């Protein structure tokens, strides 16, 4: 089962407070690890010209495709992007956060 499907099931079963906590942890992970280059919120701008805003990632990639990339460690992206590795719990939280901020074109 893909991580996103499992995550959605967990969030539905967890209810409001726990789901909110997971999403907040994901937001914090994004802020700490990614905000130097990427826009990680719903209305900020990326500081790096080649770093896509996180709210538009689903327009470029299926979010479940990012699961594997994050799990293996991101080694590609913009040319000066640092390596990012996450634990399974961090990955689940980050993907939960990303799912909440996606904007349609």
In tens, the pLDDT along 59-78 reads 988 888 888 777 666 655 66
Write the pLDDT tens digit of every residue in 22-56: 999 999 999 998 999 999 999 999 999 889 999 99
Closest CA to 31 of 18, 44, 13, 20: 44
CB atoms within 10 A of CB 82: 11
Is pLDDT at 86 greater than 50 in this prediction? Answer: yes
The span from the CA of 17 to the CA of 15, in Å, is 6
**pLDDT band, residue 1 (cuts 50/70/90):** very low
Q: Considering the chain, what is the average pLDDT of its residues? A: 81
Asked if residues 97 and 26 have their Cβ atoms less than 8 Å apart, the reply is yes
Per-residue model confidence (pLDDT) at position 62: 86
What phi and psi, each to the nearest 5 degrees, are found at residue 84?
Answer: -125, 125
Quote the pTM value.
Answer: 0.77
What is the CATH T-level fold of the domain 3-101, as seen in this structure? Cytochrome Bc1 Complex; Chain D, domain 2 (1.10.760)
Q: Is 92 exposed, middle or buried (0-12, 13-18, 19+ CB in 10 A)?
A: buried
pLDDT recorded at residue 60: 86
> Of all residues in the chain, what percent carry a pLDDT higher than 90?
40
Residue 97 sits at φ, ψ, to 5 deg, of -65, -50
Domain locations in the chain as residue ranges: 3-101
């Amino acid at each position: 089962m893909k991580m996103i499907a499992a995550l959605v099931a967990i969030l539905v079963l967890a209810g409001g407070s726990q789901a909110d906590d997971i999403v907040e942890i994901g937001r914090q992970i994004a802020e700490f690890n990614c905000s130097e280059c990427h826009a990680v919120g719903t209305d900020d701008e990326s500081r790096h010209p080649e770093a896509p805003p996180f709210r538009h990632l689903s327009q470029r990639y299926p979010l479940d495709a990012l699961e594997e990339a994050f799990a293996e460690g991101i080694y590609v992206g913009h040319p000066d992007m640092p390596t990012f590795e996450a634990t399974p719990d961090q990955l689940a939280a980050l993907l939960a956060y990303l799912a909440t901020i996606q904007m349609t074109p």
